[in-house]
Amino acid sequence: MTMAAREHFQVAICGAGPTGLMLANLLGAADVKTLVIERNTSTVSEPRAVSIDDESLRTAQAAGLADEVIANVMLDYGSHYFSTKGEVFAKVEPATREFGYPRRNAFRQPLLEATLRAGLARFDNVDVRFQHTLTEFTQNEDRVMLTVTPARKKALNITCDYLAACDGGRSSIRTKLGIGFSGSSFEQRWLIIDLNDTKDTFRHTRVFSNPDRPGISLPGPHRTRRFEFMLRDGETQEEAETEQFSRALMHAHGPDGNAEIIRRQVYTFHARRADRWREGRIFLLGDAAHLTPPFAGQGMNSGIRDAHNLGWKLAAVLNKELTPSVLETYEHERKPHAWALIELALTIGRVMVPKSRMQATLMQLFFKTLSVCPPAKRYVSEMRFKPKPYYREGFIAEPIDAIGKTFTGRMFPQPKVQMPDGQDRLLDATLGNRMAVIALSRDGANISKTLNGVPEDITAIGITQSGSPQRHENGSISVLDTDGAMKAYLHNAETPVFIVRPDRYIADAFDTANGTKIVTRLNALLNDPERSRHTQ
């Protein structure tokens, strides 16, 4: 008897949350044959994460879904911190759009997941299967073997080249692999109240830094709102989740005491990360790899960063553009930044949750003192304390000059640029989801010469501060920086050049007026991904 052939996919993704669905969209756009496995009947229906940042919106842009995602996002909000007397002692209102979008934005997870799921319908190479459970898996040097069980049906035998574990903080894949989950869980309990039809028109978050009852009121899109309040010792979960308890808190903190409540839930928070993020051909992403306290709104966003980082590398390996060794850089690049954001959340939590009135008073006095010093005030108000994405090791070249030491490993900005056809666009719209060589010039005089010889499968683009955008005979183009965002990147060099990865991180940066140097540096990077500078 002949056995039925196993279905085979290049990548299987376990978990259809924001991380898994974003990864599937990125792989779909890269023509990678992908399977999404989700045990639930559909995407989530209840609110969970509520904050989406500029980097995640940039990733949605890379997935071709920026407009669809933004349709259900309230862009550009800040946070106001209130004392026990109701006075504002600190404001965080970042105005920068360095990466093309506002730094802080409000969303609803059910709408985001529905949008990402709908986006997968664009791709014949992506198969999405809800009500399917990954029950067993094994792997060898060549592939991963999966046993997937549909609801009320016989188990399926499936193979894949790589498996992405996006199955949440209680990841069964991480558990079966025996990977530890280091960190802390906290005794503090918080009550979440999500509501519709808010009467509160204040567009920023209110943070109530009250040691008697710390809390927060967050605006959302489509007239939604979230309250979060810390529970006191002696208050039970059963008591806190009653409507009477919730409405008393809502009445005391704004005009929404009678609003429709769509969810009440008590939770505790965690600060954890997996001891390792890879086992052979299996990778951990999102909450399976790290759990972040909610105070900085970075939990889901860290998962989206994982998806973009691993997604382009998997596509490059499977499309035979890079060797599999590039996959070694995923954990080395992402793990330190994910932990830095966990530490940021813990720090913000200490501001939100003073342990005593004396501590609250001293903290508020500290922030009021900062406000009289303009640099310190900007540091807080413009959210400069948020750790910027920065890879000190990974798929990056060894810096060879001051420019490289300053910019290599950082995310490249996304200014608005004028195209040769006169249209204004965000920069990424000209790059495509592939490697790019970007040369800067004050007047565009040397762009064509500098970019001569860049391979056809790599985007070659010049950004000028003056002059007219144009197309060059060698296939490169020059665009005009319309908002002056790139001036700082000229860095006193005549023609600085940046090799930018598909996830928009700078893999190499150097000064050159010679196109030969670009090709040499590019070839060294692409042909030797094991040059990634990390320690085991």
Each residue's pLDDT tens digit, 116-156: 999 999 999 999 999 999 999 999 999 999 999 998 889 99
Strands 436-441 and 290-291: unpaired
Domain limits, the chain: 7-71+108-179+273-347, 402-531
Euclidean distance between CA atoms 59 and 65, whole angstroms: 9
- C-alpha separations of 179 from 163, 277, 289 in Å: 15, 8, 10
Q: Which fold would CATH assign to domain 402-531?
A: Glutaredoxin (3.40.30)
For residues 318 and 275, is the Cβ–Cβ distance under 8 A?
no
Q: 112 CB contacts (<8 Å, ≥6 apart)?
A: 18, 52, 69, 72
Q: Is 317 exposed, middle or buried (0-12, 13-18, 19+ CB in 10 A)?
A: buried
Q: Which fold would CATH assign to domain 7-71+108-179+273-347?
A: FAD/NAD(P)-binding domain (3.50.50)
Count of CA atoms in the C-beta half-sphere (13 A) of 458: 21
Per DSSP, the residues of 334-384 read HHHHHHHHHHHHHHHHHHHS-SSHHHHHHHHHHHHHHTTSHHHHHHHHTTT
pTM of the model: 0.92
Residue 416 is predicted with a pLDDT of 95
Count of CA atoms in the C-beta half-sphere (13 A) of 321: 17
Asked, colleague to colleague, whether 7-71+108-179+273-347 and 402-531 share their fold, the answer is no
- Give me the tens of pLDDT residue by residue for the chain, a chain 536 residues long: 233 457 999 999 999 999 999 999 999 999 999 999 999 999 998 888 899 999 999 999 999 999 999 999 999 998 898 988 888 888 888 878 999 999 999 999 999 999 999 999 999 999 999 999 999 999 999 999 999 999 888 999 999 999 999 999 999 999 999 999 988 877 789 999 999 999 999 999 999 988 889 999 999 999 999 999 999 989 999 999 999 999 999 999 999 999 999 999 998 888 899 999 999 999 999 999 999 887 777 889 999 999 999 999 999 999 999 999 999 999 999 999 888 888 888 877 777 676 677 766 776 676 667 666 666 556 555 555 566 778 989 999 999 888 999 999 999 999 999 999 999 999 999 998 999 999 998 887 778 888 888 888 899 999 999 888 999 888 889 999 998 888 888 876 777 999 999 999 999 999 876 778 898 899 889 886 544 443 33
| Backbone φ, ψ for residue 369 (5° rounding) | -65, -40
